[in-house]
Amino acid sequence: MSDEITFTIDGVEVTGTQGQTIMQAADQAGIYIPRLCWHADLSPGGSCRVCTVKVNGRAQAACTYPISEGMLVQNETDEIREWRKSIVEMLFVEGNHFCMFCEKSGNCELQAMAYRFGIATPRYPYMFPQRDVDASHPDVFIDRNRCILCGRCVRASRDVDGKNIFQFVNRGRETRIAINAEANLADTALSAMDKAVEVCPVGAILRKRVGYAVPVGKRKYDHEPIGSDIEARRAKS
């Protein structure tokens, strides 16, 4: 019995293997599905919902939903694009994102996603929450103003680094990233080389003394839209 599975994304036939998610099969086929909480080296979180697609007419998270024979997936429709755009806009207004002052600018996945969706400014009112910055660690600082609660640092610290330094606390609008220390980041076992530091998609967790090492204009998303690396695979096929 073959493990090969054939299904369609926006009418395009895609072949994957048993156990793959929609996102994994789509990436392999060169079809980009927007995402923020997903990372190739981590277990899927399914929290941001930017990767929402319709599977046989029902909304599902592409990063966690397994493929099956003959399933019909919608990825690029006006409705789905509007869902994703609204999510990205809400992430901007629910935090304090000042791109022009952020050293992650040009490498920031949230910023790049906004450009992909043509967002010049969010349609919703800014909330300007009061959030703290912890610069106590000698090599890393955390700025919760920029945190989008993607959970990448939580999964990386737990599953890759084996340290469980980061975790969510509280619920709803009060949810935030906390650390496993009573006081400051300096009191944890965090290292600047930890995967948890590397995988932050925005400027919330950053290494010190490396800011602007790559000048603006030469950064990852300065010339190529986010997802271009995946879409290039389809262009070559």
What average pLDDT does this structure show over 57-80?
Answer: 98
For residue 178, name the pLDDT band (cuts at 50, 70, 90).
very high
Q: What is the pLDDT of residues 182-228, one digit of tens each?
A: 899 999 999 999 999 999 999 999 999 998 899 989 999 998 999 99
Q: Hey, where are the domains in the chain?
A: 4-76, 97-223
What average pLDDT does this structure show over 116-140?
Answer: 96
How high is the pLDDT of residue 235? 84
Among residues 147, 57, 56, which one has the least CA distance to residue 108? 147
* Alpha carbons 20 and 18: distance in angstroms, whole number: 6
For residue 236, name the pLDDT band (cuts at 50, 70, 90).
confident
Q: Is the pLDDT of residue 2 over 80?
A: no
Q: If you count DSSP H runs as helices and E runs as strands, how many of each does the chain have, helices first?
A: 7, 10
Q: Is the pLDDT of residue 153 over 80?
A: yes
Mean pLDDT across the chain, nearest whole number?
A: 95
Q: Outline where the chain has alpha helix (H).
A: 22-29, 78-94, 109-116, 152-155, 195-198, 220-223, 228-236
Asked if 77 and 54 touch (Cβ cutoff 8 Å), the reply is yes
How high is the pLDDT of residue 216? 87
Does the domain made of 4-76 have the CATH classification 1.10.260.40? no
Ranges 84-93, 97-106, 210-219, most confident: 84-93
Residue 17, helix vs strand vs coil: strand
How high is the pLDDT of residue 123? 95
Which CATH code, of 3.30.465.10, 3.30.70.20, 3.40.50.150, 3.30.559.10, is assigned to 97-223?
3.30.70.20
What is the enclosing helix (H) or strand (E) of 60? Answer: strand 58-61
What average pLDDT does this structure show over 152-172?
Answer: 97
**pLDDT above 70 as % of the chain:** 99
How high is the pLDDT of residue 84? 98
How high is the pLDDT of residue 173? 84
Q: What is the pLDDT of residues 3-54, one digit of tens each?
A: 899 999 999 999 999 999 999 999 999 999 999 999 999 999 999 999 999 9
pTM comes to 0.95
Q: Outline where 2-61 has alpha helix (H).
A: 22-29
Residues 6+ away with beta carbon under 8 Å from 152: 37, 39, 42, 45, 196, 199, 200, 201
For residue 118, name the pLDDT band (cuts at 50, 70, 90).
very high
